[in-house]
């Protein structure tokens, strides 16, 4: 199996297992695929993001970068694991690492699921050796529910045209069944599902939204909240100037505060509107803001 001229081999996967890739939670999680020269490359631009879990997140495309941002906007997210490997054989539920006292049941691996669905499981061949390919899910989001229990949300990211290819649909069918059998929601996210305008806005503004939090930033966000409605109707340039004047910060800091407010859901911005200094800043209802985010609203591009 090849990606951009580099070859995936059984020996490579053996090495990744020894490196404990795909294991751990929170800051200790090690992604299966990584953004580094020794790994076969992905299509498009890759990103390394240091979010609030105190580790680097490995994102293999601009689309993954945007969907990562959409995931961080969920208010109850406590962990976010990318390039997550699916077990080949029967295994404890993937939520088990968060269960302190008992395993949360067992579930089938991709080999059994592929056989049940009568779909050929992907394999690799090298030097006469044939081994099953380790399938992955782009994002596994851990959510804390009102009762305190952990729930997983699995997300695959694809271009709309790619998701319609016959073999891709077969592999997505296996992936979806892997999560559905465990009782977890699986979403297929494409740019079209979110709207290209929202994708474009997030792609240009995520570096502000995902900037590292610090104590003073959280205090400044609190100062902004009582009068954030006053920003509606102003241009982005005027809004940033107003924030800088009220809170006594630089324009760069004011821009960061604006987008941090959006990321935390405190400023329900219409993300489909153009983002430029002369464009008006439009606010939505809380529900309208949530519906812009296919992860928050649980929309999926998957169809049978």
For 42, counting Cβ atoms within 10 Å of its Cβ (0-12 exposed, 13-18 middle, 19+ buried), the class is middle
- 97-126 pLDDT per residue, tens: 998 766 567 899 999 999 999 999 999 887
Residues 6+ apart with CB under 8 A from 112: 89, 90
Please report, for residues 74, 120, 162, 163, 172, the alpha-carbon distance to residue 167 in angstroms, rounded to integers and kept in the order given: 32, 10, 10, 9, 9
pLDDT(55) > 80? yes
Quick check: 42 and 5 in contact, CB under 8 A? no
- 204-247 pLDDT per residue, tens: 899 999 988 888 888 999 888 888 888 888 999 999 999 999 99
Please report, for residues 24, 208, 214, 243, the alpha-carbon distance to residue 262 in angstroms, rounded to integers and kept in the order given: 30, 10, 17, 14
More confident residue, 229 or 254: 254
- 170-183 pLDDT per residue, tens: 999 999 999 999 99
pLDDT(30) > 80? yes
| Distance (Å, whole) CA 215 – CA 213 | 7
Q: How many H-runs (helices) and E-runs (strands) does the chain carry?
A: 11, 12
Least confident window among 71-75, 107-111, 114-118, 300-304 = 300-304
């Amino acid at each position: 199996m090849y990606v951009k001229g580099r070859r995936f081999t059984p020996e490579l996967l053996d090495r990744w297992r020894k490196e404990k890739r795909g294991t751990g939670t929170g800051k200790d999680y090690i992604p299966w695929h990584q953004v580094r020269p020794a790994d076969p490359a992905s299509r498009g631009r890759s990103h390394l993001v240091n979010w609030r879990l105190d580790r680097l997140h490995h994102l293999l495309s601009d689309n993954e970068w945007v969907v990562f941002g959409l995931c961080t906007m969920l208010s109850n997210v406590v962990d976010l694991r990318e390039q997550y490997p699916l077990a080949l054989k029967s295994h404890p539920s993937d939520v088990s690492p968060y269960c302190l006292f008992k395993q949360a049941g067992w579930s089938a691996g991709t080999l059994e699921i592929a056989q049940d669905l009568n779909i050929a499981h992907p394999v690799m061949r090298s030097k006469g050796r044939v081994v099953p390919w380790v399938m992955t899910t782009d994002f596994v989001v851990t959510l804390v529910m009102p009762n305190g229990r952990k729930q997983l949300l699995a997300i695959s990211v694809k271009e709309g045209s790619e998701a319609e290819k016959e073999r891709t649909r077969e592999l997505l069918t296996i992936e979806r069944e892997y999560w559905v059998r465990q009782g977890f929601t699986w979403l297929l996210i494409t740019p079209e599902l979110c709207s290209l305008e929202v994708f474009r806005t997030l792609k240009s503004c995520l570096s502000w939204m995902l900037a590292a939090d610090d104590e003073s930033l959280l205090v400044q966000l609190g100062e902004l909240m009582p009068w954030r409605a006053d920003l509606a109707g102003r241009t982005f340039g005027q809004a940033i100037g107003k924030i800088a004047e009220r809170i006594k910060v630089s324009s760069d800091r004011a821009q960061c505060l604006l987008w941090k407010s959006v990321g935390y859901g405190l400023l329900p911005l219409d993300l489909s509107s153009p983002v430029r200094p002369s464009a008006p800043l439009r606010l939505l209802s809380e529900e309208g803001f949530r519906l812009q985010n296919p992860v928050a609203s649980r929309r999926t591009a998957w169809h049978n």
